[in-house]
A and B are shown apart, each in its own frame.
Chain A
Amino acid sequence: MSELRWNPLLGEWVATATDRQERTFLPPADFCPLCPTKPGGFPTEVPEPSYDIVVFENRFPSLRSDPPPPAVEGTELYPVRPGQGVCEVILYSPNHTTTLAAEPVEQIYKLVQVWTDRFLELGALPFVEYVFEFENKGEAIGVTLHHPHGQIYAYPFTPPRVARELEQARAHERKTGRCLLCDVVAEEKRDGRRVVVENESFVAYVPFFARYPYEVHVTSSRHLQALADMDGEEQRDLAEILKAVLVAFDRLFDISFPYMMVLHQRPSDGDNYDFYHFHIEFYPPLRTATKLKYLAGSETGAGMFINDTLAEEKAAELRSKVLPVVWGGEGGAA
């Protein structure tokens, strides 16, 4: 059962997807459904014995291209609509034990190209308004499969957090005549204390307003709205700065660092979003090597985040862990 129920208190949709209760939960490595199907082995989601990058429809989707009718009838107060959309899984590598941070920068560049292709293909579907690409990494985030992978949700509406960003960006542009994120990038570069790493096309920084101790935003220096607007050099620079950030995360506590990584691009509904600006946000749940930043009463009930740290100090910690990125190397940074 999958449907969208309207929350009139917040003015936003909630997806109910009861089938997801049955999804695979932390299987042993020998029975990973995201590994290639080995000759004579049990059949996984990928029938072939190897692959480079694979995308497939999620077996337990929150949204479907041909959704069933809602389980309940809506009312004027409580509208209900079918859970129409697409949920995909992206497998980064056939190697069960790798992570995006451990992959060569070339593999991350390939992923950037696949993200771009999925953004364009899913965004062209008539019922899709927003393509949301993301990764949940680590049990601390709640992943149910350890095999390195990301996800894509193609929503039939623009999700509330992105919609709020769009409102803020539009208001700033009307007030100042400038792009909000262009101003943020300029301010971060001018100040410098919160910058983690930068290259010719991107800057990675702990934002002035960070909600999580090690929150990092990666923003394009050029004013553009989506991966599809980038030229080849910018896509390579994006892969390079992602590699640098991911390696710095892992070196911070010498662990495979958990995080949520989300791509914020323009909606795909055909309207003009020239005022918007592409960026990627990382939300790591750790505040120390062993302590989690919990989303408790204030964060969850009031939407008011309390960060126990200074962005300037956390950025300095991360900056000290950045290594040069090597193209043609064996996986890691130099």
Chain B
Amino acid sequence: MKDEGPTKQASVGEMHKRRTTLVDGRYLIYYTFDDEGGELAAKDEAASKRAPDAEPVAEDERRV
């Protein structure tokens, strides 16, 4: 087995997770990487600026 092409280090970025609750109460977690995670974080940050006093919802995102 031998590496070819881009380096392994550059191939996949940081992992993000976003937890949601399904209608029947079970949890579901979206895992995203690289730009997807960056876009997600930017979206949530924008939402937070629009509604700084909003009640927490049943969603949580954290970087791992």
Contacts and interface: CB of A to CB of B under 8 A. Distances in A.
A103 interface: no
A244 B3 CA distance: 12
A154 interface: no
B8 A327 contact: yes
Contact of B2 (A59, A241, A324): A324
Contacts of A327: 3-8, 11
B28 to A, nearest CB: 4
A239 B2 CA distance: 13
Interface string B14-41: 0101001010101111111100100000
A248 to B, nearest CB: 11
What is the interface of chain B mostly: helix, strand, loop, or mixed? loop
Contact of A56 (B6, B7, B12, B22): B22
Interface stretch (A106-114, A127-135, A277-285, A302-310): A106-114
B11 A326 contact: no
Given A322-B1, A329-B5, A48 B30 contact: yes
Contact of B30 (A54, A241, A244): A54
Given A109-B8, A240-B8, 15 more contacts: A45-B28, A52-B32, A52-B33, A55-B28, A55-B31, A57-B27, A59-B26, A105-B11, A110-B31, A197-B1, A236-B8, A325-B1, A325-B2, A327-B6, A334-B4
Interface of B: 1-9, 11-12, 15, 17, 20, 22, 24, 26-33, 36, 64
Interface of A: 45-48, 51-57, 59, 105-106, 109-110, 113-114, 117, 197-199, 232-233, 236, 240-241, 244, 322, 324-329, 334
24 contacts: A45-B28, A52-B30, A52-B36, A54-B28, A54-B30, A55-B28, A55-B29, A56-B27, A56-B28, A59-B26, A109-B12, A110-B12, A110-B33, A113-B12, A117-B15, A236-B9, A240-B1, A244-B1, A324-B1, A327-B7, A327-B8, A328-B5, A328-B6, A334-B4
